């Protein structure tokens, strides 16, 4: 029996992986939430100041109001491009799912109560959750270029997309 204990690893790689993934998703969720809220608050404040400045009939305030309009547009574009809100929600959901699995396993409840090998079941379920989240992320990433092309076409219809070895190349169309 003492030989089995000597051969056993000091730490459990499955629990280490679980804790590592919970910490990673928690950090990323908080980071995306903070970034999203900072951008949105700045955008709201800038948008709220524009009508206030428009009430003054001074030339300088027109430039400031115009500049704030540009700031609002750029912030909204960056939010849309980087998907901070969607990432925040997705990462939080995955983190909470991983915590749920951890507590079911530790409490020997749910699918772990009747499993012949609860430890390997935990490993399978952890990897399933992580790979599902990754598959969703990949799906969103693959849809992004199409959305970017549509946005570009709406914003600047004189630009067209020309594929070049799989890389997008935008060329200006002349009449």
Q: What is the DSSP string of 98-116?
A: HHHHHHHHHTT-GGGTS-S
Phi/psi of residue 65, nearest 5 degrees:
-60, -40
User: How much is the pLDDT for 1?
Assistant: 46
CA-wise closest residue to 39 among 7, 79, 8, 66:
79
Gap between the Cα atoms of 88 and 34, Å rounded? 9
User: How much is the pLDDT for 159?
Assistant: 47
User: How much is the pLDDT for 164?
Assistant: 45
User: How much is the pLDDT for 18?
Assistant: 94
User: How much is the pLDDT for 157?
Assistant: 54
Gap between the Cα atoms of 26 and 31, Å rounded? 9
User: How much is the pLDDT for 31?
Assistant: 97
User: How much is the pLDDT for 114?
Assistant: 92
User: How much is the pLDDT for 37?
Assistant: 97
User: How much is the pLDDT for 151?
Assistant: 61
CB atoms within 10 A of CB 94: 24
Gap between the Cα atoms of 145 and 132, Å rounded? 21
Please give the average pLDDT of every successive group of 10 residues along the chain, which has 175 residues.
50 92 97 97 95 85 90 92 93 95 94 92 91 81 67 55 46 48
Tokens of 143: 């849809």
Q: What is the largest CA-CA distance in the chain?
A: 88
User: How much is the pLDDT for 136?
Assistant: 78
- In this prediction the pTM is 0.71
């Amino acid at each position: 029996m003492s030989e089995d204990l000597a051969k056993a690893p000091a730490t459990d790689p499955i629990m280490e992986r679980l804790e590592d993934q919970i910490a990673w998703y928690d950090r990323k969720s908080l980071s995306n939430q903070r970034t999203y809220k900072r951008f949105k608050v700045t955008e709201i404040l800038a948008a709220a100041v524009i009508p206030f400045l428009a009430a003054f009939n001074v030339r300088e305030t027109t430039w400031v109001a115009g500049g704030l309009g540009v700031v609002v547009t750029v912030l909204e574009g960056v939010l849309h491009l980087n998907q901070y809100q969607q990432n925040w929600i997705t990462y939080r959901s995955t983190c909470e799912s991983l915590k749920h699995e951890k507590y079911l396993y530790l409490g020997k409840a749910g699918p772990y109560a009747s499993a012949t090998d609860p430890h390997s079941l935990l490993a399978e379920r952890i990897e399933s959750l992580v790979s599902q989240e990754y598959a969703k992320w990949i799906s969103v990433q693959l849809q992004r270029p199409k959305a970017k092309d549509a946005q570009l076409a709406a914003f600047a219809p004189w630009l067209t997309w020309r594929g070049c070895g799989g890389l997008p190349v935008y060329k200006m169309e002349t009449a």
